[in-house]
Amino acid sequence: MIAERQVVISGLGTVTPFGIGAKTFWEKMIQGESSSRLITSFDVSNLPTRFAAQVPLSERELEPLIANQKSLKTLCRAGKFALIAAQEAMEDSGLRAEEIDPYSLGLSLGAGGLGLSDVEHSDQMFHIILDSLGVEDGIRLDRSKIWKNTLEQVNPLTPLKALPNIPTAHIAIQYNARGNCQTISTACTSSTQAVGEAYRQIKFGIADIMITGGSDSMINPQGLISFSSLGVMSKNNQEYRSAARPFDRRRDGFMLGEGAAILILEELEHCRKRGGRPYTEVIGYSSTCDAFRLTDEPPQAWGSIQAISTALANAKVNPESIDYINAHGTGTVLNDKTETFAIKTVFGEKAYSIPVSSTKSMLGHLVAAAGAVELAACVLSINHRCIPPTINYQEPDPECDLDYVPNEAREADLDIVISNSFGFGGQNACLIIRRVP
């Protein structure tokens, strides 16, 4: 019988609202700091939500951090985050691109964003701009001229910035990754699925090394308007420093975040042979779809329950062995209630003694990057033997009655940890990692 291939995480890099690098990310998280700030990068004075968890670097400050300077002209902000995090992760792993068989190296990244606006949306935008200018009725909107001027006046490479697989392609070029390179876009589960699929690539012998994770940046007018329209963000501008309060009775939606996390997944023997340092082992993954409604979770939470229990089965561990759950924990009324219900259904009485925390209370919701950043938090939790808290937790909700690690990090000898992600479209994905023996 052929021995099963084991998959380890051998490098990581992050760009988060706490700044550049995994060290800062971890230090601020265990301090229980909030990264919430009032938005000043564009005028939000007439929008219902005026705060977010922004990466504290402007485009100008990000650009010198990217090795391939020519790539900048085809990288959106999220793409820049991905490249910076990938550089840190590769350096951290000690892997040298020239020593890797290029066809055994692949990529699996989660990406989101809005892409280019569709015709209906741009048509509305033209009218709104004219109205906002106070232009009198009777002015003819010459659309064909608008399209022509756009063609002539916008840099022809601009559309590439909106393609979700461009950051993947740039990282592939930089590290000569010629194996399976894929980009997954499933809203808030994008990067959890990306890591899960990367894990499968190595486990099933398709690749030896995968550069994986995700990035996103939606703290821009389009992104903020979109999430405001859907009514999922906190509007608590008065108390913006503590408005992200998952599982708290007073929660009123999530805080939008941005950033990236990249992890290097590697076959265990490959990592050992080259003298690499495995952080943790990836032992389980599952992904399901509710097939119910686009944004409502089914009342019985079948999709999330199935994702958690199948991940446990895939990892060949029983529910009793889970030491910590990094919750999706967005801070919307429905998510936190349904996720709590799903955890209680899968874990039974044991659910009450498993620490469950939401790092979104500190970092906000990084959308397509959320799963990868939260998995990075889990990796560091195991290594530092410490659980990051759910901050801003003051008033318990009777329907959310688990141990949410309120307000302060907690020392704990963690062995096996699960990270949950649930997203629009009824997407559910869970990853399980454990300490390397």
Partner 1 sequence: MDRGLTEDQVLKTLSNIIVEALRVDPSKITRDTRIFLDLNAESIDILDIRFRMEQAFGFKINQEEMLRSVGAGLSAQEIQMKFTVGSLADYLMEKLRQQKN
Please identify every residue annotated as catalytic.
188, 328, 365
**Residue 74 C-beta: closest distance to partner 1, Å:** 8
C-alpha dist (Å) from residue 261 to 17, 51, 150, 228: 12, 22, 34, 25
CB nearer to partner 1: give 63 or 123: 63
CB burial readout 361-393, b (16+ within 10 A) else e: bbbbbbbbbbbbbbbbbbbbbbebebbbbbbbb
**Residue 152 C-beta: closest distance to partner 1, Å:** 8
CB nearer to partner 1: give 60 or 140: 60
Q: Which residues contact 21 (CB under 8 A, 6 or more apart)?
A: 13, 14, 88
CB nearer to partner 1: give 45 or 153: 153
**Residue 216 C-beta: closest distance to partner 1, Å:** 24
Using alpha carbons only, give the angle 100, 105, 108 rounded to the nearest 5 degrees: 150
CB of 108 closer than 8 Å to CB of 193: no
C-alpha dist (Å) from residue 277 to 1, 11, 128, 198, 390: 28, 8, 55, 19, 30
**Residue 185 C-beta: closest distance to partner 1, Å:** 23
**Residue 118 C-beta: closest distance to partner 1, Å:** 24
| CB burial of residue 332 (10 Å; 0-12, 13-18, 19+) | buried
Report the distance separating Cα 25 and Cα 20, nearest Å.
8
CB nearer to partner 1: give 148 or 316: 148
Strands 51-52 and 181-184: unpaired
**Residue 173 C-beta: closest distance to partner 1, Å:** 10
Report the distance separating Cα 186 and Cα 197, nearest Å.
13
**Residue 157 C-beta: closest distance to partner 1, Å:** 5
C-alpha dist (Å) from residue 288 to 186, 283, 291, 345: 11, 17, 9, 17
CB of 219 closer than 8 Å to CB of 366: no
CB nearer to partner 1: give 155 or 300: 155
Residue numbers of the site for partner 1 (CB under 8 A)?
Answer: 69-70, 72-74, 152, 155-157, 160
Quick one: CA torsion of 31, 36, 40, 41, rounded to 10 degrees?
80
CB nearer to partner 1: give 61 or 411: 61
CB burial readout 270-286, b (16+ within 10 A) else e: bbeeeebebbbbbbbbb
Concatenating the DSSP letter of every residue in 213-252 gives EEEEE--SHHHHHHHHHHT-B----TTGGG---TTBTT--
**Residue 75 C-beta: closest distance to partner 1, Å:** 12
Q: Which residues contact 2 (CB under 8 A, 6 or more apart)?
A: none
Using alpha carbons only, give the angle 139, 141, 146 rounded to the nearest 5 degrees: 140
CB nearer to partner 1: give 74 or 87: 74
CB of 17 closer than 8 Å to CB of 53: yes
CB nearer to partner 1: give 66 or 262: 66
